[in-house]
Amino acid sequence: MNKQAEAEKRNHRKLGQQLELFLSMEEAPGMPFFLPKGMVLRNKLEELWKEKHAQAGYDEIKTPIMMKQQLWEQSGHWDHYHENMYFSEVDNQRYAIKPMSCPGAVLIYNSKLRSYRDLPMRYAELGLVHRHELSGSLNGLLRVRSFTQDDAHLFVREDQIEQEVEKVLHLIDDFYSLFGFSYEVELSTRPEDFMGSPAVWDKAEAALENVLKRQGTAYKVNAGDGAFYGPKIDFHILDSLGRSWQCGTVQLDFQMPEKFDCSYIDQENSRKQPIMIHRAIYGSIERFMAILIEHYAGDFPFWLAPVQASILPISDAHADYARAVGEELQKAGYRVSVDDRSEKIGLKIREGSQQKVPYLLIVGDNEMQNKTVAVRKRPEGNLGEMSLENLIEQFEA
């Protein structure tokens, strides 16, 4: 099969509907509706994210979705971004719905006096943001107007920049390896509409380049494609069809701490300005989900599958036993469904296969009598009869 036909077969909009993961509706263009199975997938990605960030020494925060317009003017987003923002008026004051989470993290940092001993401070946020996209460019979960960025903002001393960037690169590699993604790395340098002085930019670019060279990471320079506030390292993951998707990013920012007068007290009892590192791994939950759907063609690994096993009674006489099996597996912590409709078993198997459920467990007279299930696993097929104990061992293998 050629690449284009295979890509069409894996189209996340088509599979999203077939697997009942999400919907796009005219009532909210570019703002996806997540269905129960889609929420399981989304929650597993978020749980993984929270767990790995807690282990890596991040503190999770949540900042308001709407803040005063003057904040966005102060941050520089207004000058560079206001055409892509949504606005509202409350009590005769102009508010903006956040297109990014960074100013909120800065306000939390500035909420108390900081010491050099407090740094680095690593704030992580699954932040819901809104950005205006032209209606013609909207595309399922890949191009949306409302999405959740897996943001983190690190406040560091100058002597901590390189070691913190290095830790971020290791964390990104850890995530992508888990999903079987290889990736390419790009260093994006000063754009035409940059903020700050060229000397500061040179220093920031050199710091990122030093880390990449020290780690022996192959990278290419993308001249002029940095963010307006600092240079960045971008990660382009390669899916199972070899297509490239830009997801992760690490951005150095000397500008925003200056604009918001961020400071910490150093060893000499003087005020110093921290440097900010902006960082994302998934990029956005929605976009990463779209990439995963296409990467796996909807055949998610067992730990990620919305329904891990479906129990299919052959007739109504086997339905109670099927439900009892379902309850046992749920108690053991697995996501299962019971298809107890009065339909032919062939139809149930076919529909379970179309839903790409990793395990179909068929129960009839033999299985009831032997307290077993007949196991069909994707893609291997029939594995024969198993006790629930043996089945759970198979799940955990």
3-class secondary-structure state, position 211: helix
Mean pLDDT of 188-213: 90
Annotated catalytic residue 98:
no
Q: Report whether 80 contacts 228 (CB < 8 A).
A: yes
**CB proximity list for 392: less than 8 A, separation 6 or greater:** 329, 332, 334
Active-site annotation holder among 150, 151, 253, 339: 151
Closest residue by Cα to residue 217 from 192, 255, 239, 248: 248
- Please tell me the predicted confidence (pLDDT) of residue 63: 97
Q: Give 343-386 pLDDT, tens digit per residue.
A: 999 999 999 999 999 999 999 999 999 999 999 999 999 999 99
Annotated catalytic residue 153:
yes
Distance between CA atoms of 265 and 115, rounded to whole angstroms?
5
- Please tell me the predicted confidence (pLDDT) of residue 229: 80
Q: Give 137-193 pLDDT, tens digit per residue.
A: 888 999 999 999 999 999 999 999 999 999 999 999 999 999 989 999 999 999 988
Active-site annotation holder among 44, 50, 52, 131: 131
Question: What distances in angstroms separate CA 288 from CA 179, 196, 248, 292, one per listed residue?
Answer: 11, 32, 10, 6
Instruction: Quote the distance between the C-alpha of residue 48 and its chain's center.
Output: 9
Annotated catalytic residue 12:
no
Annotated catalytic residue 131:
yes
Active-site annotation holder among 37, 130, 153, 279: 153
Angle in degrees, 0-180, between the axes of helices 161-178 and 198-215, rounded to the nearest 10: 50
- Please tell me the predicted confidence (pLDDT) of residue 196: 82
Annotated catalytic residue 102:
yes
**CB proximity list for 122: less than 8 A, separation 6 or greater:** 56, 57, 58, 59, 152, 154
Q: State the Cα torsion 91-102-85-223 to the nearest 10°.
A: 160
Higher pLDDT, 200 or 359: 359
Annotated catalytic residue 149:
yes
- Please tell me the predicted confidence (pLDDT) of residue 313: 97
Q: Give 2-15 pLDDT, tens digit per residue.
A: 778 888 889 999 99
- Please tell me the predicted confidence (pLDDT) of residue 81: 77
Look at residue 1 and tell me whether its pLDDT is greater than 70. no
Query: What Rg value do the Cα atoms of the chain yield, rounded?
Result: 25
- Please tell me the predicted confidence (pLDDT) of residue 254: 86
**DSSP state, residue 258:** H
Q: Give 34-85 pLDDT, tens digit per residue.
A: 999 999 999 999 999 999 999 999 999 999 999 999 999 888 777 777 888 9
Q: Report the half-sphere exposure of 66 (CA within 13 A, side-chain side).
A: 10
Active-site annotation holder among 37, 149, 190, 251: 149
Domains of the chain: 3-296 (3.30.930.10), 307-396 (3.40.50.800)
**DSSP state, residue 307:** S
Q: Report whether 326 contacts 340 (CB < 8 A).
A: no
Active-site annotation holder among 42, 98, 232, 348: 232
pTM given for the model: 0.93
Q: Report whether 37 contacts 307 (CB < 8 A).
A: yes
Question: What distances in angstroms separate CA 298 from CA 20, 162, 237, one per listed residue?
Answer: 11, 38, 18
Mean pLDDT of 115-125: 98
Q: Give 270-294 pLDDT, tens digit per residue.
A: 999 999 999 999 999 999 999 999 9
What percent of the chain has a predicted confidence (pLDDT) above 70? Answer: 100
Q: Report whether 311 contacts 348 (CB < 8 A).
A: no
Annotated catalytic residue 232:
yes
